[in-house]
Amino acid sequence: MAGVSQEPTARYPTFAMPVLNEAKIRSARPQERAYKLFDERGLFMLVTPTGGRLWRFRYRLGGVEKLLTLGAYPDVTLKRAREKRDDARKLVADGVDPSAKRQAERASQADTFEAIAREWLELQSKSLAPETMEILGTRLKSFLYPYVGSRPIASITAQELLAALRRIEARGTNETAHRVRSLAGRVFRYAVATGRAQHDVAADLKDALAPVKSRNFASVTEPARVGELLRAIDGYSGQPITAFALKLAPLVFVRPGELRGAEWSEFDLETAEWRIPAARMKMGEQHLVPLSRQAVAILREVQVLTGRGRYVFPSLLSAERPMSNNTINAALRRLGYGSDEQTGHGFRSMASTLLNEQGFPPDVIELQLAHQERNKVRAAYNRATRLAERRQMMQVWADYLDGLRAGGNVVAIRRSA
């Protein structure tokens, strides 16, 4: 009788009582072939030749035997593996396939706003500048992921997105709210294009946000005060790289991001040209900046310091990154110019105002500012035919600034016929 009563345990160890414990699991050693350590009710551990200890749950549904992975030890302990097995057994009892349910959940997670946004962002990295990618990524993480990131993108409503944008407006940053709405729209349109959403709900919110008040970047435009600013820049006692960036800014009057992200590969100092690639331009088109003699002289000085690296104006923390987007403004504050007086972007307003006042053709000025021309054919024609005028203008402008810096009575820019 004793032998009979012991037979079920000997033949069916997984149904009598738990046979695994932590000590037995820890002592399991890899062998030439994978082997199993059985627990109970379909739970077992697979020990692989490489030393992996993987939990598996064997079950039958509709007469078909299936396996469900439950994780790896020690991340999933014996106790937790049994809990996961019990959860799966409850699903089987209700006629639900645990494996199919998991696949459906994973598919749903792959279609969340955050998952699709990250996929879209990865595609953009092939054409956008690193600093632009950083800005887009920060906006997504700060303003959208916490509120709609985990939601399936196809089920997000305009009201849900609006609630997230209202949080931005509540901080008094209406312009940021508009930028984030536009960014969300790009993600939604990508989801529509890839068959994971039916509609761009961000488009429905175009008129739902408070309007942005137009503003000009603070800028010194009176000739005498421009001379004072240039002399102050010459006396800047901070980091040399920052000082050179400050000196170059009024001569080229590009956008701050275009200046701080400048790479040596973009410059030809022999022909006095700076070609900013389309990926770094706001309008997505390559931009040519003719360099005055003064600008070339500054760049040759900088080249001694940073010419072996990628960036003309690298970060103080890492040569692999450009200087911070706040460096120029912080330097101006250090010189005593408040944010309501002069900004890095304000050098563009300075040039635009004074060049227009001195009678340079508006088309030539706008081309050099890289402002968008609505008529594409006309824009292409202008870029091709007005380069000589732009070269002349940039040199005359640099000479004019020299006169203001010297404190002379410079009242007009003299243009040759």
Whichever domain contains 60, its CATH number is 3.30.160.390
Name which of 235, 238, 233 is nearest 323 in CA terms.
Answer: 238
Digit-coded pLDDT (tens) for 59-110: 998 889 999 999 999 999 999 999 999 999 999 998 899 988 887 666 556 6
Tokens at residue 95, please?
């006629």
Spans of the chain below 70 pLDDT: 1-18, 104-110, 129, 131, 213-216, 372-385, 408-417
What are the residues facing 61 on neighbouring strands? 64
Q: Which of 106, 136, 162 is the last residue of a domain?
A: 106
pTM comes to 0.53
**Both 242 and 343 in a single domain?**
yes
Q: For position 106, what pLDDT does the model report?
A: 67
Q: Residues 201, 290: one domain?
A: no
Residue 169 resides in a domain? yes
Residue 22 counted as domain residue? no
Amino acid at 298: I
- Looking at 63, 89, 106, which one is the last position of a domain? 106
Query: In the prediction, which pLDDT does 317 show?
Result: 87
Considering 141, 206, 275, 282, which one is annotated as catalytic?
Answer: 282
Q: Which is the catalytic residue, given 139, 255, 280, 390?
A: 255
For residue 307, is it within any domain?
A: yes
Alpha carbon distances (Å) from 115 to 69, 191, 268, 373: 24, 10, 42, 36
Q: What is the pLDDT of residue 54?
A: 94
Residues in Cβ contact with 113 at an 8 Å cutoff, skipping those fewer than 6 apart: 144, 145, 148, 149, 150, 151, 152, 153, 156, 187
pLDDT at res. 410: 53
364 and 279 housed in the same domain: yes
Q: 251-264 pLDDT, tens per residue?
A: 999 999 999 999 99
Decide if 216 is inside a domain: no
Told to judge if 73 belongs to the known catalytic residues of this protein, a careful annotator would answer no
Whether residue 400 lies in the annotated active site: no
Inter-helix orientation angle 327-334/240-252, to 10°: 100
Q: Does 282 qualify as catalytic in the annotation?
A: yes
Q: Tell whether 8 is covered by a domain.
A: no
Are 142 and 124 contained in the same domain? Answer: yes
Contacts of 336 (CB under 8 A, 6+ apart): 232
Q: Could you confirm whether 311 is annotated as catalytic?
A: no
Spatial separation of the C-alpha atoms in residues 374 and 186, rounded to whole Å: 22
Question: Which among 76, 69, 92 has a CA at the least distance from the CA of 25?
Answer: 76
- Verify whether residue 167 is a known catalytic residue: no
Catalytic residue among 166, 275, 334, 371: 371
- Quote the pLDDT of residue 214: 53
Sign of CA dihedral 333, 334, 336, 342: negative
Q: In what order do the strands lie in the sheet with 35-38?
A: 35-38, 43-47, 53-61, 64-72
Give yes or no: residues 179 and 272 share one domain.
no
Nearest-10 Cα torsion for 147, 152, 156, 160: -20
- Cα pseudo-dihedral 59, 61, 65, 67, rounded to 10: -50
Mark whether 187 and 148 lie in a shared domain. yes
Same domain, 132 and 60: no
CATH number of the domain residue 175 falls in: 1.10.150.130
Q: CATH number of the domain at 393, please.
A: 1.10.443.10
Q: Supply the DSSP symbol for 253.
A: -
Task: Judge contact between 148 and 113, C-beta under 8 A.
Answer: yes
What residues have CB less than 8 Å from 259, skipping those under 6 apart?
245, 248, 249, 252, 313, 328, 344
318 in any annotated domain: yes
Q: Indicate if 243 and 194 belong to the same structural domain.
A: no
Per-residue model confidence (pLDDT) at position 100: 83
pLDDT value, residue 108? 58
- Of the three residues 106, 134, 161, the one that is the final residue of a domain is 106
The single residue of 139, 260, 345, 405 carrying the catalytic annotation is 345
- Active-site residue, selected from the candidate residues 139, 178, 348, 405: 348
Domain count, the chain: 3
Q: Is 371 a catalytic residue?
A: yes
* Domain extent for 136: 113-205
How far is it, in rounded angstroms, from Cα 44 to Cα 40? 7
Residues 246, 351 within the same domain: yes
pLDDT of residue 318: 87
Q: Are residues 175 and 76 in the same domain?
A: no
Q: Is 321 within 8 Å of 314 (Cβ atoms)? A: yes
101, 121: one domain? no
Residues 396 and 290: beta-carbon distance below 8 Å: no
pLDDT for res 299: 97
For 139-145, the CB contacts below 8 A with 24+ separation are 139/176, 139/179, 139/180, 139/183, 140/114, 140/183, 140/187, 143/167, 143/168, 143/176, 143/180, 144/113, 144/114, 144/117, 144/180, 144/183, 144/184, 145/113, 145/114, 145/117
The helix/strand/coil state of 314 is: strand
18 falls within a domain: no
Residues 135 and 248 in one domain: no
Omega before 74 within 30 of 0, i.e. cis:
yes
Cα of first residue to Cα of last residue in the chain, in angstroms, is 120
Task: Evaluate whether residue 78 is within a structural domain.
Answer: yes
